[in-house]
Amino acid sequence: MTAFDVGLGGAECRLEFGDGGSQVLPVARWHDDATGSGAAAGDAAAGDAANGDAVLLDACRGATIDLGCGPGRLVAALARRGVTVLGVDKSPLAVALTRARGGPALRRDVFGRLPGTGRWRHALLADGNIGIGGDPTALLRRTRRLLHRHGTVLVETEPPGCGLWRGPARINGGAWFPWARVDAQALTAAAEHAGLSPRRIVEQKNRCFVELERS
């Protein structure tokens, strides 16, 4: 069981930070289809635009690994598009939910041994997963090692003005774990130390995305 399993089960999640701040996590979006809430089967593009996931999905034009895939909405959407994709998550519940949606997934630590090292065209760090481990630079260095030499990392960041915050966090008063929050500007500095540089920054539907490439 992981700290985020309460959200994977569908309950409301509040991510509490050691500095006293907190935020409600978008649990409904995690469980929704990446094509958007209420989108008809023939209206995938409209649904994607509605929830911002199209920025991530449209950028993935080759083999993609989703780090911290959660219940697998992005993995399943890419699989439906015919993209070679793999979800990775420490939570057995996340892996089971992803597989139930028709997406391949492995239960692994993102810092552990992963298949396809050096061959992935894209890596996803969506839904705040740049916070995993509490050190964005270390996470980006690890992610860079997974990439093909022409590969990119697609990162969802905090809104502008957040800067970089690192410290303990917890879900709904549970056990503390290391976490980080970072906006696009702060991510650029972290990426530079990891051997990556920004290719583009996109803001859509109150969400911000940065695509990084190998420097």
Check which CATH number belongs to the domain holding 156 and give it: 3.40.50.150
Look up residue 51 and give its amino acid: N
pLDDT class of 206 with cuts at 50, 70, 90 = confident
Q: What would the pLDDT profile of 63-88 be if each residue is shown by its tens digit?
A: 999 999 999 999 999 999 999 999 99
Q: What would the pLDDT profile of 24-66 be if each residue is shown by its tens digit?
A: 999 999 999 996 433 433 444 444 444 689 999 999 999 999 9
The pLDDT value recorded for residue 205 is 74
Count structural domains, the chain.
1
Token pair recorded at residue 154: 């697609």
Strands 64-67 and 120-125, bridge-based pairing: parallel
Strand ordering across the sheet containing 147-157: 105-107, 85-89, 64-67, 120-125, 147-157, 207-214, 196-204
> Which range of residues forms the domain containing residue 28?
5-214
Query: To which residue do tokens 């979006």 refer?
Result: 29
Rounded to the nearest integer, the mean pLDDT of the chain is 92
Token pair recorded at residue 199: 């290719």
Query: To which residue do tokens 């530079």 refer?
Result: 192
